[in-house]
Structure 1
């Protein structure tokens, strides 16, 4: 299935798309360091990126006429700084706001689906009107802003179109779903809340929904403080185990709650579990892990305390002037602190171990802080891919098992081939 990746960064969302069966016609990123990471992995023959057509530059300057329309997917993570909790909160007035450019590309390429990811801050009450404006632009991409309008005027006009329902199914319109998810709920060893805006073209008549979560905090608490299996499984000595955050009453309540669930969710994955097979970077032990070098200088102070070992990590961030909150640090069993190595941070973002990052530690941490966890991306992308396949099967009348297998094999061919099958 054909795809275009915008604002690719170090490739987290694009890797998830490749794992889900999408083949990019273009992978765009303006940052030289991130592009160097993508190119370096291509030179090293890393399979998932080997065929990516990488374009370093602004998405607004790309020749979109060179690509076909009616492709399967447009995806990307527009720069989050205009909406980030730690940013300047400029939204529409921030020159880094790339949602208008994203809408323009959707209008040009008319994809069957799109996926845009951004920070939780986009859903704040202060951005409510602008967030709804973004959604309406993506719902009605063929109703662009007029020269005589500011964004407020455009917003009002789009609201009227949405209320009337006249455009649906006639012009280029999309069914949208917006989901705020925590990556830890999908098996990522990091508490990372992100917004996904997913749209399917209205004529496809889809019934997509966000994949259900697979992991939970409650299951981790049960594993740690009710059964104690977590500590035994990870061989944590009693002297290194933290004090239980649950009272005896809470333990009993949690046990009763989980016993009512026929198939309990899996426990959240923790920092300790994610890094268990990696040698301590300060010890001079021969190993084969790339980008796994100790970075000295980690210090803790109020408000800058690092990630505990026995929970998912705090959200890795890409601070322009240092990372607030100590999100790039970990707390050792003895209470000391150290920085995550590049490889450890990549593990927390579920990048494959064979994927190399280009640049100095601070630069790479910025790339990783901006990235979408690969595993979360894979699950979302896979659910979209399945929906697109099912839509094609319904469209072309495939019903038997043999027909389904044949249709899936044909999915990367033009629709005309499918019709002849």
Structure 2
């Protein structure tokens, strides 16, 4: 099945989509470091992207997609999220970095059978509720474009009227659903909440819902608190089996073993890697695995404990945010995650190389979609398209 990847970043969403059976025929990304990352791994055939086309490096507003009309099964991407990020300036539709109109344009020009778009959880804040509805309505009726000089809220009124009227049977329309997903519930060793939009072209008659959770906190707590299997598997001494008191109390209340798999933890993800601070020579043998100094904790920013999923990796408005993206050891000391450790927390393969400095690589990772989460969604979408 043929796909187009927009706002590709370092390739996390596209890699997961590719693993699900889609073949990208066009990839667009404006950031040169991200494009360099994709180019090198494409040449090295790592991460399953050896057959990807050369990425188009530049402004998506200058790219014409009409040659793909009617030939595309899936359009996917993560429109730049700064206008909605909890760490950003919250300007939404007033922010020139808002690329949702371009995502809608690509859907309009290519008429794909389905699309998958991802964005930050901040988009679902109450203050953005009306604009969120505007996005959904635009994705539902991509041909109902804004009039010259029309404000977005006036366009919203027209979309609402169209939605409540009896539309043409021949119009391009999508059945759209969205949901905030926690990546930890789908096998990613990180608490990472993102809002995901999925749409199927209405003429296909596909009934769809988001995939069920495969992993859970309670299953992890069962292994840690009730059976102890987690600690035995990792050979952790009893004195080092530290848990947040609230999690310990929750675990003790469990009566039956959950049927889901346990959440994956930082230890699950990086426990076999040498510590880049304590064993730098061994760490140097691993790709993108170097110690980065300067980590410190402060109120609200204390790092990720080893035996829970990592806190959300962040890119920050002005580079990597202080106090974030850190490991917190059992003795209370902290250090920054290396690029390789962060890549594992985002479920990128160990052979995947990131271009740029530590700060630049961490920015790419902080903006990325976990490969495993993308695969879980993409595989579900693919099964429905094949059956349609």
Normalising by the smaller structure, the TM-score range is over 0.9
Separation in 2, partners of 1:111, 1:364: 32
The alignment partner of 1:254 has SS state of: coil
**CA distance in 2: counterparts of 1:298 and 1:165, whole angstroms:** 58
Matched-pair contact (CA < 8 Å) for 1:331–1:338:
yes
Q: Distance in 1 between matches of 2:73 and 2:241?
A: 49
- Superposition map of 1:200-349 within 5 A: 200-243=200-243, 245-246=245-246, 250-251=250-251, 253-255=253-255, 258-259=256-257, 264-282=259-277, 283-286=279-282, 288-324=285-321, 326-349=323-346
Give secondary structure in 2 for the equivalent of 1:48. coil
The change in CA–CA distance for 1:189 and 1:247 in structure 2 (over 3 A counts) is closer
- Say whether 1:352 aligns with 2:349: yes
SS of the equivalent of 2:304 reads coil
The alpha-carbon deviation at position 243 of structure 1 amounts to 4.8
Contact 2:219 2:262 in 1 (8 A): yes
CA-based RMSD: 1.7
Q: Any idea what SS the aligned residue of 2:305 has? A: coil
Shift of 1:246: 4.9
CA 1:46/1:159 → structure 2, altered by over 3 Å: closer, same or farther? same
Cα drift, residue 65 of structure 1: 3.3
Structure possessing the higher radius of gyration over alpha carbons: 1
Task: State the Cα deviation string for residues 92-118 of structure 1 (Å, max 9, x = none).
Answer: 100000000111111000000000000
Contact 2:47 2:349 in 1 (8 A): no
Shift of 1:383: 0.6
| SS of alignment partner, residue 345 of structure 1 | helix
Q: Is the 8 A contact 1:183 1:373 kept in 2?
A: yes
Query: For residues 82 and 149 of structure 2, what CA distance do their matches in structure 1 show?
Result: 28
**DSSP-derived class of the 1:219 partner:** helix
Distance 2:287 2:244 in 1: 36
Distance 2:251 2:287 in 1: 42
Gaps of 5+ in 2: none
8 Å CA contact 2:243, 2:307 repeated in 1: no
The answer to whether residue 382 in structure 2 is matched with residue 385 in structure 1 is: yes
Deviates more, 1:271-280 or 1:368-377: 271-280
Q: Partners of 1:251 and 1:93 in 2: how far apart?
A: 46
User: Which portions of structure 1, spanning 4 or more consecutive aligned residues, are displaced by more than 6 angstroms?
Assistant: none
The CA distance in 2 between the partners of 1:330 and 1:251, in whole Å, is 23
| Distance apart, 1:147 and its partner CA | 1.6
Distance 2:235 2:182 in 1: 28
Residue 95 of structure 2 corresponds to which residue in structure 1? 94
Q: 2:32 aligned with 1:32, yes or no?
A: yes
Alpha-carbon spacing, 1:96–1:241, altered in 2? closer, same or farther (3 Å): same
Contact 2:17 2:375 in 1 (8 A): yes
Aligned to 1:157: 158
Tell me by how many angstroms 1:330 deviates.
0.4
Deviation at 1:332, TM superposition (A): 1.5
Please say if residues 306 and 337 of structure 1, whose CA atoms lie closer than 8 Å, have aligned partners that are also in contact: yes
Aligned length: 385
Matched, 1:371 2:361: no
In structure 1, C-alpha distance between the alignment counterparts of 2:121 and 2:324, rounded to whole Å: 17
User: CA deviation digits over 1:126-185, x for unaligned, max 9?
Assistant: 000000000000000010011252111110111111122424x42000001111110000
Segment drifting more, 246-255 vs 236-245? 246-255
Aligned equivalents of 2:317 and 2:150: distance in 1?
A: 34
Would the aligned equivalents of 1:25 and 1:67 in 2 still touch at CA under 8 Å? Answer: no
Q: With structure 1 as the length reference, what TM-score do the two structures score?
A: 0.88
Summarize the Cα distance change of 1:47–1:194 in structure 2 as closer, same or farther, 3 Å threshold: closer
Q: Does 1:84 align with 2:79?
A: no
TM-score by length of 2: 0.95
Structure 1 residues 345 and 4: CA distance shift in structure 2, 3 A: same
Q: Tell me how far apart the structure 2 counterparts of residues 52 and 379 of structure 1 sit (CA, whole Å).
A: 20
How has the CA–CA distance of structure 1 residues 121 and 325 changed in structure 2, closer, same or farther, with 3 Å as cutoff?
farther
Q: Deviations over 1:367-419 (max 9, x none)?
A: 0000000000011011111110000xxxxxxxxxxxxxxxxxxxxxxxxxxxx
Mapped partners of 1:65, 1:244: distance in 2: 54
Distance, in Å, in 1 between the alignment partners of 2:248 and 2:115 is 48
CA–CA separation in structure 1 for the residues paired with 2:319 and 2:72? 40
Shift in CA distance, 294/250, structure 1 to aligned 2, threshold 3 Å: closer
